[in-house]
């Protein structure tokens, strides 16, 4: 297996909230223009029955081409490799001005390479990034292989519902049955320098449960959470966005570092704690994320 020939620097974007939208629901696609999600995922897979695949594909491509969703990131979830609709989905999205194409049930790096080659062959621009869903035990064990297979791949998305099913496990608070797999996903994505999004929370009416699971994902290192209902957007944006306390601490760290640099000293402390270069890098990452969120909100 070899790397793709593409050299594509990732476009920095906030991805705190990524909302799935049924590709066959014109009303939902219209409403999405007013939602505060960072990412909108137009779904041609689970949300669309076999008889509606072609019509939904056309509806989604028309919506994507409208340019009405800026500044949100637009991703289309297509049908998986080996399905009757996969080839037509890839061809349609390759010619549409989406930011990403999300492929379900990606199993290994060779599949990623084949998907990237297909997009290249269809003339898809480098700006169309590949997103890969990992949903099976094998894919989580190969998370780093999948994430690093191609420069076109930008994001790993965790599919916890399928994973729980394949493990013969139970959906429980705290997600103990799948925590090892979640950690593998984060490790694999970070080893490859890619973004990783947490799976969905199924109980739309349980706001406290959603926030607790989102907080768990944030603590584990996920960049954001995939969502199944607009009511979950605010909670995801809140949990995965830097808090006032985090921003204040980050500013202190950067300020102390710059002052120490100017004074020619290598010893830096903030509030009695030693600060190393890794803390400075993370502080700058947090401040950069806050700037991206502010820029996006100013354009909405």
pLDDT tens digit sequence for 181-235? 999 999 999 999 999 999 999 999 999 999 999 999 999 999 999 999 999 999 9
- Name the residue ranges covered by the structural domains of the chain: 17-240, 244-299
Quick one: fold of 17-240? TIM Barrel (3.20.20)
In degrees and rounded to multiples of 5, residue 271 shows phi and psi of 55, 40
For the chain, the average pLDDT equals 92
Confidence of residue 8 (pLDDT cuts 50, 70, 90): very low
pLDDT tens digit sequence for 10-21? 557 899 999 999
Cβ within 8 Å of residue 62, ≥6 positions away: none
Cβ within 8 Å of residue 278, ≥6 positions away: none
71 prior amide bond cis, ω within 30: yes
pLDDT tens digit sequence for 148-170? 999 999 999 999 999 999 999 99
pLDDT of residue 6: 36
pLDDT tens digit sequence for 87-102? 999 999 999 999 999 9
In degrees and rounded to multiples of 5, residue 227 shows phi and psi of -130, 155
CA end-to-end span of the chain: 42
Contact status, residue 268 vs residue 257, Cβ threshold 8 Å: yes
- Within 13 A of 248's CA, how many CA atoms are on the CB side? 4
DSSP letter for each residue of the chain: ----S---PPPP---SEEEEEETT-HHHHHHGGG---SEEEEESSTTS-GGGHHHHHHHHHHHHHTTTTTTSEEEEE-PPTTSTTHHHHHHHHHTS--SEEEESS--SHHHHHHHHHHHHHTT--TTSEEEEEE-SHHHHHTHHHHHHS-TTEEEEEE-HHHHHHHHT----TT-GGGHHHHHHHHHHHHHHT-EEEE-----TT-HHHHHHHHHHHHHHT-SEEEESSGGGHHHHHHHHSPPHHHHHHHHHHHHHHHHHHHHT----EETTEE--HHHHHHHHHHHHHHHHHHHHHHH-
């Amino acid at each position: 297996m070899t790397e793709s020939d593409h050299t594509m620097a990732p476009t920095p974007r906030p991805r705190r909230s990524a909302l799935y939208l049924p590709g066959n629901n014109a009303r939902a696609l219209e409403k999405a223009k007013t939602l505060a999600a960072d990412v909108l995922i137009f779904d041609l897979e689970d949300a669309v029955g076999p008889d509606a695949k072609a019509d939904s594909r056309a509806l989604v491509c028309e919506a994507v081409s409208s340019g009405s969703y800026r500044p949100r990131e637009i991703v289309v979830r297509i049908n998986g490799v080996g399905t009757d609709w996969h080839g037509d989905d890839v061809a349609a999205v390759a010619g549409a001005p989406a930011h990403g194409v999300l492929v379900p049930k990606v199993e290994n790096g060779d599949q990623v390479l084949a998907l990237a080659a297909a997009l290249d062959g269809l003339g898809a621009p480098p700006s169309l990034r590949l997103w890969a869903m990992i949903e099976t035990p094998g894919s989580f064990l190969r998370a780093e292989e999948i994430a690093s297979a191609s420069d076109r791949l930008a994001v790993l998305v965790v599919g916890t519902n399928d994973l729980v099913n394949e493990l013969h496990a139970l959906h429980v608070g705290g997600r103990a049955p799948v925590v090892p797999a979640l950690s593998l996903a984060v490790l694999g994505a970070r080893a490859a320098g890619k973004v990783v999004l947490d799976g969905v929370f199924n109980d739309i009416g349980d706001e406290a449960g959603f926030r607790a699971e989102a907080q768990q994902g944030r603590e584990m290192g996920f960049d954001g959470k995939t969502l199944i209902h607009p009511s979950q957007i605010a909670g995801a944006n809140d949990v995965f966005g830097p808090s006032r306390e985090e921003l204040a601490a980050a500013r202190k760290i950067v300020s102390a570092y710059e002052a120490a640099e100017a004074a020619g000293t290598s010893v830096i402390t903030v509030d009695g704690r030693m600060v190393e270069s890794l803390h400075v890098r993370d502080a700058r990452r947090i401040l950069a994320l806050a700037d991206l969120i502010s820029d996006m909100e100013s354009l909405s």
